[in-house]
């Protein structure tokens, strides 16, 4: 029977067998035979000759080289000393020698978890690493106030943490945005997780991720001294009277040469650094717009404007650019300035390309340049078009396809009578309106579109929605089934409770202010037969009304104005009920914006398809057909499809190619139903 051995005494023992019995439980030795002296007596303190500390819990990491347990230079347990002398007097932190020390380390590692154990050495011995992230400027997040940096960092941490669950959450320590690249710093194991996100799609753009090596870090102009030197160069080249920033012949600039800027591995980074420094000298975009109107880039040996791409990123409001005496060979060499939807020279008025190979092609390219730069007035100091022509072209672009007049296909004036009575009764007596046109099967719902696009020139503020939000059934915002079902109100009683809680309204007079409404009416088949005599259903009307109304939310005596769209489905009433009933009533509310005015000429031309079309009408129909094809192929709205074709010279193949190149940069309202393809 096995028996546990007693705890050994603290003092020296007079005798002890060398090997110990095999039958009992013994304290594990540190490895190797028990040390003895020349006479065979037990050595109680082998570390004494080396002046090391001894005693319980503290032992030297090596044995004496004279011990018979092995040749000199071997540590206890037979492990190599790793270059350290066997006579070293340096004690180890562990109380059990090398073997036990390694065991302790493994125990700690096991406690941390197997996944973390694999990277523990790198945590100790490797410094934090940097990554360069590309693709942010091509994403939809680039239009955010901070350029999308915070959204990108959150995306990287969230996605990398999901791929790195065994090591916990990924954390980015430092970040900075330089041009179209974002530089991040993190621990090595987090860097490894983030690298797995290479080619991932962020806000519609594919990310590129690469490690920044030490040589790249050394060449980045970061110090205050370099910034101050750049500021001196920029100050010498700025003409405040002309509001001109002269960036010509940079390679010959004595200040830049003295800084050794042209000895770096990537010379194009010099221009990027200068733009960063120049941009940071201003407090706002408005300050930059007022201080710098013109930029000269002459004599820089440019073969493509992508070498100075950062100009459009940091100074997009420039009106005059001189690219004389460079090596720009064709329109393709200018494409970089037009490739990003968020960064374009939208206010460019004067462009000089003299002394470039492209100059010979300008007579054939001026129309393309005029389409690319909508406000361009002069090309190579030659007038291209007047400000009045530009204004007319911009108006034409805003209404590329004339809006046809409303289609009102009424039956026995049912629709006309309903619309006229509805607007008056909804403003004055909603209970009477319910009794006249609604029954127990009528359904009502409303939704608020808080992201409807508005022109930037509108001065009417967006009004609060507090009185409406509790009833809003916007299916893009409400995901819970109960809320979706409960906010669809059926029957007179339920609808009356909702209408009573909504603010009082005042619609414009339909007869005196027709320009504030667009109302359409058409036949609607297959409606439920309230008499239950026809299984196939009965015919009715669908009426769509767009307009505006004023209301008083109760917060103040001042009335607010809102835009609305309301869709009614009318059908025959049930026996004993109203003769005409509302089957469905859907109200959509949005911030106020004026209605687009339709083209009366186009409206008159539509009802007479048999008449011979003029060449202008035939061309318009052809353009509509092309836009419809592009819309079906890409998923863009008809308006954006037309703008894309207009930029492509109404060439469908070219337009589709341009779409593929820039679709990641299109805004949300460019897509049908706001859904990207």
Read off the pLDDT of residues 606-637 as tens digits, 9 standing for 90 and up: 443 344 456 676 677 778 878 878 887 888 88
Q: Which residues contact 126 (CB under 8 A, 6 or more apart)?
A: 188
- Three-class DSSP category at 18: coil
**How far apart (Å, rounded) are the C-alpha atoms in residues 621 and 635?**
20
The yes-or-no verdict on residue 55 having pLDDT over 50 is no
Contact 80, 61 (CB under 8 A): no
**How far apart (Å, rounded) are the C-alpha atoms in residues 553 and 469?**
12
CA 309, 314, 319 angle in degrees (round to 5)? 85
**How far apart (Å, rounded) are the C-alpha atoms in residues 75 and 424?**
101
Q: What confidence score (pLDDT) does residue 273 get?
A: 85
**How far apart (Å, rounded) are the C-alpha atoms in residues 236 and 196?**
46
pLDDT digits (tens, 9 = 90+) for 406-431: 788 888 889 999 999 999 999 999 99
Outline where DSSP puts E strands in 369-504.
378-379, 382-383, 443-449, 489-490
Reported for 184-188, long-range contacts at CB under 8 A and 24+ positions apart, including other chains, are: 184/130, 184/131, 184/133, 184/153, 184/156, 185/128, 185/129, 185/130, 186/128, 186/129, 186/131, 187/123, 187/128, 187/129, 188/119, 188/122, 188/123, 188/126, 188/128, 188/129
**How far apart (Å, rounded) are the C-alpha atoms in residues 654 and 592?**
37
The two three-digit tokens of residue 178, written as one number: 């330089």
Q: Which residues contact 402 (CB under 8 A, 6 or more apart)?
A: 598, 599, 601, 602, 620
Q: Alpha helix locations (H) across 594-637? A: 600-605, 615-634
Phi–psi pair at 674, nearest 5 degrees: 70, 20
Q: Which residues contact 425 (CB under 8 A, 6 or more apart)?
A: 432, 433, 436
The two three-digit tokens of residue 368, written as one number: 């393309």
Query: What is the mean pLDDT of the segment spanning 438-452?
Result: 93
Q: Which residues contact 147 (CB under 8 A, 6 or more apart)?
A: 136, 137, 141, 177
In the chain, the domains with their CATH numbers are 27-43+93-112 (no CATH), 129-219 (3.30.70.330), 224-398 (3.80.10.10), 414-453+460-597 (3.10.450.50), 614-674 (1.10.8.10)
The yes-or-no verdict on residue 548 having pLDDT over 50 is yes
Q: What confidence score (pLDDT) does residue 24 get?
A: 46
* Among candidate residues 590, 587, 589, the one with its CA nearest the CA of residue 444: 587
Strands 350-352 and 320-322: parallel
pLDDT digits (tens, 9 = 90+) for 260-273: 776 555 566 788 88
DSSP label at residue 56 = T
Q: What confidence score (pLDDT) does residue 443 get?
A: 97
Contact 638, 401 (CB under 8 A): yes
The yes-or-no verdict on residue 202 having pLDDT over 50 is yes
Q: What confidence score (pLDDT) does residue 98 get?
A: 39
Q: What confidence score (pLDDT) does residue 39 get?
A: 55
Maximum average pLDDT range among 16-25, 179-188, 216-225, 522-531: 522-531
Query: What is the mean pLDDT of the segment spanning 107-124?
Result: 39
Q: What confidence score (pLDDT) does residue 397 get?
A: 65
Q: Which residues contact 556 (CB under 8 A, 6 or more apart)?
A: none
The mean predicted confidence, pLDDT, of the chain is 77
CA 656, 657, 661 angle in degrees (round to 5)? 115
> How sure is the predictor about 17, in pLDDT bands with cuts at 50, 70 and 90?
very low
Give whole-number Cα distances, 37 to 42, 67, 68, 69, in Å: 7, 8, 9, 12
Query: What is the mean pLDDT of the segment spanning 69-81?
Result: 40
Strand partners, 295: 245, 321
**How far apart (Å, rounded) are the C-alpha atoms in residues 543 and 607?**
19
Query: What is the mean pLDDT of the segment spanning 91-110?
Result: 41
The yes-or-no verdict on residue 117 having pLDDT over 60 is no
Residues in the chain: 677
**How far apart (Å, rounded) are the C-alpha atoms in residues 13 and 34?**
13
pTM over 0.75: no
List b or e across 564-587, with b for residues whose CB sees 16 or more CB atoms inside 10 angstroms: bbbebbbbbbbeebbebbbbbbbb
Contact 488, 474 (CB under 8 A): no
> How sure is the predictor about 534, in pLDDT bands with cuts at 50, 70 and 90?
confident
The share of the chain scoring above pLDDT 70, in percent, equals: 70
* Among candidate residues 230, 356, 226, 345, the one with its CA nearest the CA of residue 295: 345
Query: What is the mean pLDDT of the segment spanning 127-155?
Result: 83
Give whole-number Cα distances, 315 to 178, 272, 279, 337, in Å: 15, 12, 8, 12
The yes-or-no verdict on residue 14 having pLDDT over 70 is no
Cα separation of the two ends of the chain: 78
Query: What is the mean pLDDT of the segment spanning 360-389?
Result: 88
* Among candidate residues 452, 424, 429, 416, the one with its CA nearest the CA of residue 568: 416
Q: Which residues contact 508 (CB under 8 A, 6 or more apart)?
A: 516, 517, 547, 548, 549
Between residues 100 and 188, the one the model is more confident about: 188
**How far apart (Å, rounded) are the C-alpha atoms in residues 233 and 58?**
66
| DSSP string of 75-120, one letter each residue | -GGG-B-TT--TT--PBPSSSSHHHHHHHHHHHHHHHH-HHHHHHH
């Amino acid at each position: 029977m096995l028996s546990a051995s007693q705890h050994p005494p603290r003092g020296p023992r007079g005798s002890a067998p060398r090997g110990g019995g095999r039958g009992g439980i013994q304290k594990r030795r540190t490895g190797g035979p028990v040390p003895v002296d020349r006479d065979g007596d037990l050595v109680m303190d082998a570390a004494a000759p080396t002046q090391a500390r001894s005693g319980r819990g503290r032992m030297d990491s090596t044995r004496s080289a004279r011990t018979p347990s092995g040749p000199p230079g071997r540590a206890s347990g037979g492990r190599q000393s790793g270059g350290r002398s066997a006579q070293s007097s340096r004690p180890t932190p562990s109380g059990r020698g090398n073997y036990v020390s390694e065991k302790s380390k493994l125990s700690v590692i096991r406690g941390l978890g197997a996944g973390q154990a694999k990277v523990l050495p790198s945590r100790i011995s490797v410094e934090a690493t940097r990554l360069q992230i590309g693709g942010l400027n091509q994403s939809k997040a680039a239009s955010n106030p901070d350029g999308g940096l915070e959204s990108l960092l959150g995306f990287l941490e969230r996605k990398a943490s999901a791929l790195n669950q065994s090591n916990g959450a990924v954390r980015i320590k430092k970040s900075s945005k330089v041009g179209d690249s974002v530089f991040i710093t993190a621990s090595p194991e987090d860097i490894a997780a983030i690298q797995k996100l290479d080619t991932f799609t962020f806000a519609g753009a594919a990310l590129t991720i690469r490690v920044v090596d030490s040589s790249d870090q050394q060449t980045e102009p970061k110090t205050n001294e370099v910034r101050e030197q750049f500021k001196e160069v920029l100050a010498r080249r700025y003409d405040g009277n002309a509001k001109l920033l002269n960036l010509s012949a940079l390679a010959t600039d004595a200040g830049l040469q003295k800084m050794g800027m042209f000895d770096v591995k990537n010379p194009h980074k010099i221009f990027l650094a200068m733009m960063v420094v120049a941009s940071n000298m201003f407090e706002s975009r408005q300050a930059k717009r007022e201080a710098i109107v013109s930029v000269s880039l002459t004599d820089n040996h440019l073969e493509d404007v992508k070498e100075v791409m950062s100009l459009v990123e940091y100074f997009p409001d420039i009106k005059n650019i001189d690219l004389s005496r460079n090596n720009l060979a064709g329109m393709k060499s200018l494409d970089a300035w037009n490739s990003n939807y968020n960064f374009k020279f939208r206010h460019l008025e004067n462009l000089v390309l003299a002394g470039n190979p492209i100059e010979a092609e300008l007579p054939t390219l001026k129309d393309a340049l005029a389409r690319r730069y909508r406000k361009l007035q002069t090309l190579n100091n030659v007038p291209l078009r007047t400000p009045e022509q530009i204004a007319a072209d911009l108006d034409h672009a805003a209404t590329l396809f004339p809006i046809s007049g409303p289609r009102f296909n009424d039956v026995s004036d049912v629709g006309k009578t309903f619309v006229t009575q509805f607007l008056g009764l909804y403003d004055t007596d909603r209970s009477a309106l319910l009794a006249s046109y609604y029954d127990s099967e009528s359904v009502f719902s409303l939704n608020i579109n808080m992201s409807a696009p508005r022109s930037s020139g509108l001065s009417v503020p967006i009004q609060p929605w507090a009185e409406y939000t509790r009833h809003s059934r916007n299916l893009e915002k409400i995901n819970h089934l109960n809320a979706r079902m409960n906010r669809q109100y059926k029957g007179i009683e339920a609808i009356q409770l909702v209408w009573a809680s909504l603010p009082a309204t005042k619609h414009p007079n339909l007869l005196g202010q027709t320009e504030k409404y667009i109302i359409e009416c058409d036949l609607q088949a297959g409606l439920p037969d309230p008499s239950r005599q026809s299984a196939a259903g009965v015919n009715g009307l669908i009426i769509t009304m767009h307009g505006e109304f004023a209301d008083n939310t109760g917060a103040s005596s001042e009335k607010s104005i809102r835009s609305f769209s309301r869709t009614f489905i009318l059908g025959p009433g049930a026996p004993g009920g109203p003769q005409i009933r509302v089957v469905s009533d859907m109200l959509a509310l949005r911030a106020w914006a004026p209605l687009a005015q339709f083209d009366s000429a186009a409206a008159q031309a539509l009802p007479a398809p048999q008449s011979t079309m003029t060449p202008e009408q035939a061309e318009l129909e052809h353009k509509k057909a092309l836009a419809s094809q592009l819309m079906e192929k890409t998923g863009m709205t008809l308006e954006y499809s037309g703008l894309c074709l207009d930029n492509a010279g109404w060439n469908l193949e070219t337009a589709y190619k341009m779409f593929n190149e820039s679709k990641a940069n299109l805004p949300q309202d460019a897509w049908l139903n706001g859904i990207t393809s």
